[in-house]
A = this chain, B = another copy of it.
Amino acid sequence: MLKEISGGVCAAKGFTASGIHCGVKAGSSPDKNDLAMILSEQECAAAAVYTLNRVKAAPIYVTMGHLEDGVCRGIIANSGNANACAPQSHENAEQMCALAAKATGLKPIDFVVASTGVIGQELNISAIEKGMPTLVSALNSDGSDAAAHAVMTTDTVKKETAVSVNIGGKTVTIGAIAKGSGMIHPNMGTMLCFITTDCAITQDVLQDALHEIIPRTFNRVTVDGDTSTNDMCVVLANGMAGNEQIEWKDDSYTLFYKALYQVCETMARAIAADGEGASRLVTCTVRSARSEESAERLAKAVVGSSLVKAALFGADANWGRVLCAMGYSKAPFRPEYVDISFSSIQGSILVCEKGTGLDFDEELAKKILTQDEVVIDVSLNEGGSEATCWGCDLTYEYVKINGDYRT
C-alpha cells in the first residue's frame, strides 16, 4: 500500500536539504531562494534522464560525467541563470561542484549539478561561492521546502511530494522536488526533478525503472512545445531503508516501481497545472485506441494545440479543434468513429459522437470547463489501448511572462 507522506526530498532516511538566497541574479529579491543542496549521508546509486535538446547546458554535460560511475552523494542546483551558451559555462558548472565538495568534505564528482534561468549570461559564480558555507550549514531534514523554493523560476507554487511503501517488511520512502513552468514539452526530463529514496536497489535496475516511467509521466506533459536546454530528472537511492537490495524485476521491484511512478506522475501533473500563465490543468485521455503509442500521440497533439489551449482558457467547448489537432498528429484513427466529451468535478458532457457534433447544453459545458482541472475524454472505438497526457490552457499571462512586456 502506497502512503502519501510529507517531507519531500528529506522524507527518505539519510537525506538532508537546504535552500538559500545567494544573489545569482543581480537585483533579485533576498526573499527568493536561488541555491539548493540535497545531500545523502551514504553513497547513492544514481539514475538520470536528460534533455534531448541538441543545445545542452554545461551542467548537463558535467552531471553526465559525474554520474558515469552510477554513484553520487548529492545535488547542487541554482535558479536565476541557466549557465547555458554562456561564457565560462563548463568551468562554472565544474566550479559549483568543487565548491560544494569543499564545503562538505566530499569530492566534486560526488555531485550532480543543475541550473535553471536565463540562457546566455555568465553565471555569477562568486555569489554561489559566498553562499556555499551558509547553504551547507543550513542542511537539515526539514530542508525540502527551502530547496524546492530555490529551484523555482516562474513557477507559482513549489512542487514537492513523498510516498512510502512497505517492501519486504521495511518502509521504503521516495520523495521529490521539481521545477517546471515554461519550456515544458516532450521529450525528456522536461524540467528539473530531484528524487531521493532510501530504497536499496542496484543502479541498473533503478535506471531501467526511470526509463520506463519517464515516457509515461514527464514526457506526457506539454506546456508550450519548447524543450529546454537544461532538463534533468535524477533519482538518488541510498539504500538506508534496509530492504533486501532490489536486483531483479521481482515483486519488490513492482512495489518500488509503482511508488516511483506515483511520485513522477504527481510531479508531472503539478508541472502541467502550474504551466506558465496557466489558469487550469488540462488532461486528455485517449481510449480504445489500437496502440498506446497512437493514443499518446493523439493526446499529446490535443494538449499541445494552441487553439485547444486558448479555447479552454475561454471555457469554450470547441471540440472541433480537438478533432483537428488529432488529425494533424500523424497517428492513425478514423474520424467517423470518434466520440469526444469534456468533464470536470461539475460533470461530464458528450459533445461529439461518431465524428459529428451534437447539440449540447452550452451552460453546462461552461460550468464544466471553468474548473481548475478539465478532462478531454476521447474514445476512438477501435481497440483496447489508452494514454493520458497533461497540459494547461494558453492565457494572457503566458504571453505577458514570456513577452517580457514592459508597459
A residues within 8 Å of B by Cβ? 52-56, 82, 84-87, 118-121, 182-183, 185, 224-229, 304-307, 310-311, 313-314, 316, 318-321, 323-330, 332-333, 335, 352, 355-357, 394-396, 398-406
CA A56 to CA B84, docked complex, whole Å = 43
Whether B398 contacts A119 by the Cβ 8 Å rule is no
- For the complex of A and B, the 6 pairs showing the least CB-CB separation, nearest first, are A119-B320, A314-B403, A55-B327, A310-B402, A120-B357, A53-B327
Contact in complex: A314, B183 (CB < 8 Å): no
Q: Are B85 and A356 in touch, CB under 8 angstroms?
A: yes
- Contacting pair A405 B119 (CB below 8 A): no
Known: A335-B85, A399-B394. A229 touches B324 (CB 8 A): yes
Instruction: Report whether A307 and B226 are in contact in the complex, using a CB–CB cutoff of 8 Å.
Output: yes
Q: Is A183 touching B327 in the complex (CB atoms < 8 A)?
A: no
Show 10 residue pairs from A and B whose CB-CB distance is below 8 angstroms, ordered by the A residue.
Answer: A53-B324, A54-B335, A120-B319, A182-B307, A183-B324, A224-B307, A226-B328, A227-B328, A229-B324, A311-B402
Establish whether residues B307 and A55, one from each chain, have CB atoms under 8 Å apart when the complex forms: no
A320-B120 in contact (CB<8A): yes
Chain B residue at smallest Cβ distance from A182: B307
Question: Do A333 and B54 have beta carbons less than 8 Å apart?
Answer: yes
Tell me, rounded to whole Å, the shortest Cβ–Cβ distance linking A99 to chain B: 23
- Interface residue from B118, B328, B406 paired with A53 (Cβ < 8 Å): B328
Complex Cα spacing A134 to B176, Å: 68
Q: Which residue of chain B lies nearest to A319 when distances are taken between CB atoms in the complex?
A: B120
**Please, which residues of chain B bring their CB within 8 A of the CB of A399?**
310, 313, 394-396, 398-399
Q: Is the CB of B326 within 8 A of A404?
A: no
In the complex formed, the residue of B with least CB distance to A88 is B356
Contacts known (A85-B320, A85-B356, A405-B314); A183 close to B307, Cβ less than 8 A:
yes
Report B-chain residues with C-beta under 8 Å of the C-beta of A84. Answer: 320
Tell me if B324 and A228 are in contact (CB < 8 A). yes
Nearest B residue to A407 via CB reads B314
* A352 contacts across to B, CB distance below 8 A: 85, 120
Distance in Å: Cβ of A307 to nearest Cβ of chain B = 5
Q: Which residue of chain B is the closest to A329 with respect to CB atoms? A: B54
Q: Is the Cβ of A55 less than 8 Å from the Cβ of B326?
A: yes
| A318 CB contact (under 8 Å) in B304, B323, B404 | B404
Nearest residue (CB) in B for A53 is B327
* Residue from B54, B307, B326 in contact with A54 in the complex, judged by beta carbons closer than 8 Å: B326
CB neighbours of A121 from chain B (8 A): 357
Complexed CA–CA distance, A395 and B319 (Å): 23
For the complex, give the distance between the alpha carbons of A87 and B355 in Å.
10
Q: Are A324 and B404 in contact (CB under 8 A)?
A: no
Chain B positions within 8 Å of A226 at CB level: 305-307, 321, 324-325, 328
CB distance from A343 to the nearest CB of B (A): 19
Given contacts A120-B319, A318-B404, 18 further A-B contacts (CB under 8 A): A55-B335, A85-B355, A86-B356, A119-B323, A119-B357, A185-B328, A225-B306, A226-B305, A226-B324, A229-B323, A229-B324, A306-B398, A311-B404, A313-B405, A314-B405, A316-B403, A395-B403, A398-B399
Partner among B182, B325, B395, B406 whose Cβ is within 8 Å of the Cβ of A314: B406
Contacts of A313 on B, CB cut-off 8 Å? 399, 403, 405
Residues of chain B within 8 A (CB-CB) of A185 are 328
User: Does B323 contact A55, Cβ atoms closer than 8 Å?
Assistant: yes
Looking at the assembled complex, report how far the CB atom of A272 sits from the nearest CB atom of chain B, in whole angstroms.
Answer: 15
Give chain B residues whose Cβ lies under 8 Å from the Cβ of A403.
Answer: 310-311, 313-314, 316, 394-395
- Smallest CB–CB gap between A265 and chain B, Å? 24
